């Protein structure tokens, strides 16, 4: 997508105005202190203007894009800092042309954040890894370039003062640095599409004119004229204008919108992200490795004065420390990141296994439920007829007593079968309960216990209820909860009956936002704890157990957003734990719903 034509015209107009202004100063202002001051101020204002344009883009929701624009602006600001010092020396201190401008390192360094900006590749979609890597990489790149500058340029400024060699080595290293930038930006311009291609192309343009100006200025023109108002300064204006164009390329249509046009783009995986960061670690290793190689080259080729040689040796030794430290830091961060990824993948694997088990359980319940509901409906109709006819026969006084007693037996067996069929239908029911209300879990538990206590008289079985008072209410279906607790209590009573009696302890408590109900018995314990929630699993004799009770409970508790689990106790017996999400007191007050009294459940 091309920038809108209005914008292009605005940029061309600004370009022409600035050039005209520059030429006007050059032509009409007489040579001297005033012209020099105006020229320097002109070159202070130019990067300020460009910075404003660049930074206006750094307001997106994407940190990578923001960092890209900020790093470009930082580069321009470093150049501006050099220009400020230049202006201060030339305009206020009225110093003559310095042979070797001490703050020239700033002009050299201003490309480093720009190289770092390119490494962010903001046109791509990234998996966001730790930003610390980026900072360390940036510090490493900056350190290496400072080292190169100190190695090549500074000896001619401090060890043996040689203006010509200083200018030449400065031009060579700056050109090398800028060529790396141009190469990187060209590569990105080829890869990118739409406006990003325009942005990268503008950056290529900006650096190209900068290099042309630099080589021309430093190598071919060695006149001691420090005035900014001269023909050689024109490439600088073009350089900043290209940088400004890169900034305005985003105006009009937002880049975000352009990215939104590619909905099929898959977010990259963590492996891709790791691949992307490989180049950075290679760069770090390369930078560190370059030091002994340069030192070796230094020792082997001794065609420079002794002072320069010693200076370079010292600089190389000094650079080992910060570069080594940064490489070490990067390694440490990488190790920590790998460990984090390993833990995350282990966790995902565990979650996957857990999900798989749950999925198998749900699938099993769903398919059996479908089968059961079909069969149960088919059985229900003839069963209703059998019940009706056996009722008629059993109540008919004209029928002899033997036939009536047989009819009663048929009626009783038919009723048992009907109860079983109803249980099957209740198990197969898919729809969530519609009669939910805010319930006091202690009331429900007490009601369930009362139901069962009635027929425990004469048996050596006790039920001990220990309720906690500070449990918030739960939103659930009272009848279904009653069914769950009655079923668990019935099973516990059966298990304790088999060992001649015992105690069932029912405890309620509030834990991590859940109402928790723990039912522990002193029965014989569960034979296969992992199978009890499977439909039709029973250890009870034929006619006594259907094996559906706990699988129904499992469905009901999950239906209410809760969990049910069981395990054998070390001291003997079984424990069932039911967790139901509690509604916060505040929330329940806002709703103002009354606590409904549970109705007695109809149980098998």
| Residues at the site binding ligand ADP, with contacts judged by CB under 6 A | 487, 491-492, 495, 521, 523-527, 532, 537-540, 545-551, 574
Q: Toward ligand ADP, which CB reaches closer, 449 or 526? A: 526
Tell me the residue nearest to ligand ADP as measured from the CB: 549
What is the rounded CA–CA span in Å between residue 73 and residue 51? 5
Q: Toward ligand ADP, which CB reaches closer, 408 or 494? A: 494
3-state secondary structure of 565: strand
Closest CA to 228 of 53, 54, 45: 45
Burial 565-583 (b: 16+ CB within 10 A, else e): ebeeeeeebbbbebbbbbb
Q: Toward ligand ADP, which CB reaches closer, 83 or 551? A: 551
Q: State the helix-helix crossing angle for 5-28 and 234-248, rounded to 10 degrees.
A: 160
The token pair that represents 100 in the structure block: 């070797």
Q: Toward ligand ADP, which CB reaches closer, 228 or 524? A: 524
Please give the order of strands across the beta sheet that includes 461-466.
461-466, 502-511, 514-520, 574-581, 563-568
Q: How far is the CB of 566 from ligand ADP (least distance, A)?
A: 7
3-state helix, strand, coil split of the chain in percent (to 5) is 65, 5, 25
Alpha-carbon distances of 544 from 62, 311, 522, rounded to whole Å: 65, 97, 21
The token pair that represents 557 in the structure block: 């508790």
The token pair that represents 370 in the structure block: 């479908």
Alpha-carbon distances of 459 from 470, 501, 505, rounded to whole Å: 33, 7, 16
Residue with tokens 């190389």: 316
**What phi, psi does 499 have (nearest 5°)?**
-105, 15
Q: Toward ligand ADP, which CB reaches closer, 525 or 561? A: 525
Q: How far is the CB of 482 from ligand ADP (least distance, A)?
A: 15
**What phi, psi does 343 have (nearest 5°)?**
-65, -45
- Residues 6 or more apart whose Cβ sits within 8 Å of residue 457: none
Q: What's the full length of the chain, in residues?
A: 604
**In this structure, are residues 83 and 30 in contact, taking their beta carbons and an 8 Å threshold?**
no
What is the rounded CA–CA span in Å between residue 301 and residue 104? 27
Q: Toward ligand ADP, which CB reaches closer, 122 or 549? A: 549
What is the rounded CA–CA span in Å between residue 212 and residue 222? 15
Q: How far is the CB of 537 from ligand ADP (least distance, A)?
A: 5
Query: For the CA atoms of the chain, what is the radius of gyration?
Result: 42
Strand partners, 568: 574
Q: Toward ligand ADP, which CB reaches closer, 236 or 495? A: 495
What is the rounded CA–CA span in Å between residue 329 and residue 321? 12
3-state secondary structure of 297: helix
Q: How far is the CB of 555 from ligand ADP (least distance, A)?
A: 11
Other CB atoms within a 10 A radius of the CB of residue 119 amount to: 18
- Residues 6 or more apart whose Cβ sits within 8 Å of residue 596: 437, 438, 439, 478
Q: Toward ligand ADP, which CB reaches closer, 363 or 498? A: 498
**What phi, psi does 437 have (nearest 5°)?**
-150, 175
Q: Toward ligand ADP, which CB reaches closer, 480 or 546? A: 546
What is the rounded CA–CA span in Å between residue 277 and residue 555? 48
Residue with tokens 């023109």: 221
Q: DSSP state, 233?
A: G
Q: How far is the CB of 511 from ligand ADP (least distance, A)?
A: 22
What is the rounded CA–CA span in Å between residue 457 and residue 450? 12
Q: How far is the CB of 387 from ligand ADP (least distance, A)?
A: 22
What is the rounded CA–CA span in Å between residue 278 and residue 397? 95
């Amino acid at each position: 997508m091309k920038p809108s034509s209005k914008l292009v015209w605005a940029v061309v107009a600004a370009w022409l105005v600035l050039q005209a202004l520059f030429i006007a100063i050059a032509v009409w202002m007489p040579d001297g202190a005033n012209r020099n001051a105006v020229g320097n101020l002109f070159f202070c204002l130019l990067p300020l203007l460009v910075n404003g344009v660049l930074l206006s883009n750094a307001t997106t929701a994407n940190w990578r894009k923001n960092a890209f624009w900020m790093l470009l602006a930082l580069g321009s600001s470093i150049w501006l800092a050099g220009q400020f010092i230049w202006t201060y020396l030339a305009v206020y201190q009225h110093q003559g042309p310095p042979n070797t401008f001490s703050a020239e390192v700033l002009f050299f360094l201003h490309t480093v954040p720009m190289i770092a900006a390119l490494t962010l590749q903001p046109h791509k979609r990234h998996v966001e890894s730790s930003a610390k890597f980026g900072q360390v990489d940036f510090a490493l790149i900056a350190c290496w370039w400072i080292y190169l500058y100190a190695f090549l340029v500074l000896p001619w400024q401090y060890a043996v003062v040689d203006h010509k060699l200083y200018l030449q080595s400065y031009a060579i290293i700056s050109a090398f640095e800028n060529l790396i930038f141009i190469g990187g930006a060209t590569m990105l311009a080829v890869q990118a599409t739409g406006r990003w291609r325009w942005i990268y192309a503008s950056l290529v343009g900006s650096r190209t004119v900068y290099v042309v100006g630099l080589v021309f200025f430093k190598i071919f023109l060695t006149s001691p004229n420090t005035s900014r108002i001269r023909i050689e300064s024109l490439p600088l204006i073009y350089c900043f204008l290209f940088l400004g164009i890169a900034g305005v390329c985003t105006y009009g249509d937002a880049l975000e919108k352009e990215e939104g046009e590619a909905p099929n783009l898959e977010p990259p995986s963590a492996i891709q992200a790791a691949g992307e960061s490989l180049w950075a670690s290679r760069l770090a290793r390369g930078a560190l490795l370059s030091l002994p190689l340069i030192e070796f080259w230094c020792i082997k080729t001794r065609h420079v004065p002794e002072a320069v040689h010693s200076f370079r040796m010292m600089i190389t030794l000094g650079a080992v420390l910060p570069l080594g430290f940064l490489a070490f830091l990067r390694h440490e961060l990488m190790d920590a990141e790998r460990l984090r990824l390993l833990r995350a993948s282990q966790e995902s694997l565990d979650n996957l296994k857990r999900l798989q088990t749950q999925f198998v359980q749900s699938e099993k319940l769903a398919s059996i439920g479908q089968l059961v509901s079909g069969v149960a409906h088919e059985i229900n109709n003839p069963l209703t007829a059998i019940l009706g006819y056996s009722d008629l026969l059993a109540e008919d006084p004209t029928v002899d007593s033997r036939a009536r007693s047989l009819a009663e037996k048929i009626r009783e067996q038919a009723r048992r079968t009907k109860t079983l069929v109803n249980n099957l239908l209740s198990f197969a029911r898919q729809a969530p309960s519609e009669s939910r209300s805010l319930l006091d879990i202690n009331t429900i538990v007490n009601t369930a216990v009362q139901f069962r206590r009635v027929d425990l008289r004469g048996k050596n079985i006790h039920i001990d209820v220990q309720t906690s008072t500070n449990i918030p209410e739960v939103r659930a279906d009272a009848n279904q909860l009653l069914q769950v607790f009655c079923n668990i209590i019935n099973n516990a009573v059966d298990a304790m009956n088999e060992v001649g009696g015992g105690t069932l302890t029912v405890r309620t408590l509030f834990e991590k936002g859940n109402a928790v109900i723990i039912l522990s018995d002193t029965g014989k314990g569960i034979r296969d704890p992992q199978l009890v929630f499977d439909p039709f699993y029973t250890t009870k004799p034929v006619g006594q157990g259907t094996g559906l009770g706990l699988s129904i409970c499992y469905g009901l508790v999950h239906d209410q957003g809760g969990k049910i689990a069981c395990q054998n106790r070390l001291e003997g017996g079984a424990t069932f734990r039911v967790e139901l999400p509690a509604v916060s007191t505040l929330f329940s007050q806002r709703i103002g719903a009354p606590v409904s009294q549970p109705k007695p459940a109809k149980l098998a």
